[in-house]
Amino acid sequence: MKKAIIGKKVGMTQIFDEAGHAIPVTVIEAGPCVVTQKKTQETDGYAAIQLGFEEVAEKKLSKPEQGHLKKAGTAPMKVLKEFKLDSGAEMNVGDVIKADVFAKGEKVDITGISRGKGYAGVIKRWNAHRLKESHGTGPVHRHAGAMSANSSPSKIFPGKIGAGQMGVEQVTVQNLEIVQVDASLNLIAVKGAVPGPNQGIVALKSTVKKNKIKHAVSSRVSTNPQKRSARNA
C-alpha cells in the first residue's frame, strides 16, 4: 500500500470538466491525520502505521485509549486506523498527513460502513423470488417458503439466506478516480459513489488494482488479432 488517509464523507455533488461534461463526485473531508503509533518488525512482528483522525473530548474515550494517546503525545482522537504503508519506515509518531498526500488522477480504494436499511425480508435483502399467489400460498407470498423439507437432516444449515438486518456492513469500492484535491480545505473529490451515509467515516487507500496505460492506436492499424498489423502493433 503506497498511501492512505482517514476522512469523513461530506456528500455528493457534480463537477464540470473542460469539455462541459458533468462528473458526479463524492466530497470527502480527508485529514488532517496524525501518526499515533509506529509498529516495526522488531517490536510487533510486522511494520504498520496507526493514524488518528478527528479530535474529540478526552472524556469520550476509554481509559486504555486515553493512555495510548498520551503515550504518543497526541491530542485525543475519535478514530484510529492501522495501515501497512510502503513509506511507513520514514514516518514518526506525531507526523501529520493531509489531503495533498493524494493528487488529481490517482486511483483509490475507499472503505466505509454501508447505510443501514433496517429489518428486511428475503426478497429485498437477497433478491429472492416471490411465491405465486394461488394454490395454498396464502397472504404471505413474500415469505421465504419451505427450507427443510426432509426428515434428514431436519435442520437449516448456517448461511441460509433469510430475513434480517440489512446494511451496516463494511464495504470497499475499488479503483475510484480522484477528480480534485483542495489542500487548504482538506477536501478530496472522488468520482462516483462512496459507501456510507453523510458524515460517515471512510478510509482512502491507494488502489490494489493494476491500471494498464492505454496507448493511442493509429487509425491505419487494425485491432483484429488475426491480422499482421494488429500483432505487430
3-class SS string, 74-134 = CCCEEEEEEECCCCHHHCCCCCEECHHHCCCCCEEEEEEECCCCCEECHHHHHCCCCCCCC
Distance CA 52, CA 50 (A): 7
- Could you tell me the pLDDT band of residue 225, with boundaries at 50, 70 and 90? low
- C-alpha closest to that of 81 among 26, 36, 114, 29: 36
Read off the pLDDT band of 167 (50, 70, 90). Answer: very high
Cβ contact 167:112 at 8 Å? no
pTM of the complete model? 0.77
The three-point CA angle 199-13-78 to 5° equals 15
What is the per-residue pLDDT across 2-17, written as a single tens digit (0 to 9) for each? 889 999 999 999 999 8
Spatial separation of the C-alpha atoms in residues 185 and 181, rounded to whole Å: 9
Query: Which of 173, 195, 26, 169 is CA-nearest to residue 108?
Result: 173
Q: Which residue pairs from 91-94 have beta carbons closer than 8 angstroms and sit at least 24 positions apart in sequence?
A: 91/35, 91/38, 91/49, 92/35, 92/38, 93/35, 93/36, 93/37, 93/38, 94/34, 94/35
Q: Phi and psi dihedrals of 91, rounded to 5? A: -90, 155
Do residues 194 and 205 lie in contact, with contact meaning Cβ atoms separated by under 8 Å? Answer: no
Grouping H, G, I as helix, E, B as strand and the rest as coil, residue 229 is helix
Q: What's the Cα-to-Cα distance from 81 to each of 6, 52, 57, 105, 185, rounded to whole Å?
A: 8, 7, 18, 25, 22
- Burial of 208: CB neighbours in 10 Å, binned 0-12, 13-18, 19+: exposed
- For the stretch 84-102, pLDDT in tens is 888 777 888 888 989 889 8
3-state secondary structure of 69: helix
User: CA-CA distance, 172 to 28, in Å (whole number)?
Assistant: 15
**Among the listed ranges 17-31, 92-106, 129-143, which one has the minimum average pLDDT value?**
129-143
Pinpoint the residues of the chain covered by CATH 2.40.30.10.
4-115+168-232
Which three-class secondary structure state does DSSP give residue 231?
A: helix
Whether 155 has a pLDDT exceeding 90, the answer reads no
Q: Report, as an integer, the average pLDDT of 196-214.
A: 86
Q: Where in the chain is the domain with CATH 4.10.960.10?
A: 117-166
Does domain 4-115+168-232 fall under CATH 2.40.30.10? My reply is yes
d(C-alpha 232, C-alpha 73), whole Å = 61
Would you say domain 117-166 falls under CATH 3.40.50.2300?
no
